[in-house]
Amino acid sequence: MPAKIKVAILISGLGSNMEALIKDLKNQNHLGEATIVVSDNPDALGLMKAEQLKIPAFSFATNSKTLDKSIFENNLLQLLISNNIQVVCLAGFMKILSSKFIKDFPGEILNIHPSILPSIKGLNTHERAIRRNLHVHGATVHKVTEKLDSGFILGQTTISIHKNDTPHSLSKRLKPKENQLYVDTLRQFLSGNSKVIQKLELDS
């Protein structure tokens, strides 16, 4: 059997996408293995979940100062390299990685973003989708490049926006779909299949 591809998952919060990825990566037929979880937030709930799932979890506290960010990124890079990480999955990781980090990391970096990119980049996507009176919302898994939320799109999923939806209700309905999208897209990405995954069915 070929060696498994070493995957690191970066989180800042709840970690539902992380949990879904780890559970799937534990399957024998998966080409990857969840090697480490890293958080920039020592209080992230996902860190506890990672430990329960028996994946080594690390946290490096940071604040928004540039100097601190570069120390964080240096520590992160060393940790990834010393664990031979080939693929990094950002899963609710709230820090924007610098161009230097993206250039220096020798593997691939993927992210999940809660909108149908290239529409609605950045933060508060659920609120902005409602404010724009959109009928369709969703999530995207994409490669991470130096330009925020702009890398090659690997997979997308959609939901309908209902009349009385709030950012909270949208997020709640989208999360399970995001989780499944990330799982399916990572599998396809590791297999080398470049077809974009499109789960474009809408609920009524």
**Dist. CA 117–CA 112, nearest whole Å:** 10
Residue 33 CB contacts under 8 Å (≥ 6 apart), including other chains: 4, 5, 6, 7, 25
The residues in 64-93 that bind ligand GRF, with binding defined as CB under 6 A, are 91-92
- What is the nearest approach in angstroms of ligand GRF to the Cβ of residue 190? 19
Q: Which stretch binds ligand GRF (CB under 6 A): 10-18, 62-70, 99-107, 158-166?
A: 10-18
Closer CB to ligand GRF, residue 81 or residue 96? 96
Contact between 17 and ligand GRF by CB under 6 A: the answer reads: yes
Exactly one of 5, 9, 10, 13 binds ligand GRF (CB under 6 A); that residue is 13
The answer to whether residue 113 is catalytic is: yes
What 3-state DSSP class applies to 110? strand
Query: Taking a C-beta distance cutoff of 8 angstroms, is the pair 92, 14 a contact?
Result: yes
Residue whose CB is nearest to ligand GRF in the complex, by number: 92
147 torsion bin: left (phi>0), alpha (psi -120 to 50), beta (else): beta
Taking CB under 6 A as the binding criterion, the range among 11-19, 78-86, 149-157, 196-204 that sits at the site for ligand GRF is 11-19
**Of these, 57, 88, 97, 112, which contacts ligand GRF (CB under 6 A)?**
112
- Cα dist. 174→36, 59, 131, 158 in Å? 26, 27, 17, 8
CB 117 within 8 A of CB 140: yes
Q: What is the CA radius of gyration of the chain?
A: 17
Rounded to whole angstroms, the Cα distance separating 188 from 196 reads 9
Number of chain residues interacting with ligand GRF (CB under 6 A): 15
Does 178 interact with ligand GRF (rule: CB under 6 A)?
A: yes
Among 6, 8, 16, 155, binds ligand GRF (CB under 6 A): 16
Active site residues: 113
Residues near ligand GRF (CB under 6 A) are 11, 13-18, 46, 91-92, 112-114, 139, 178
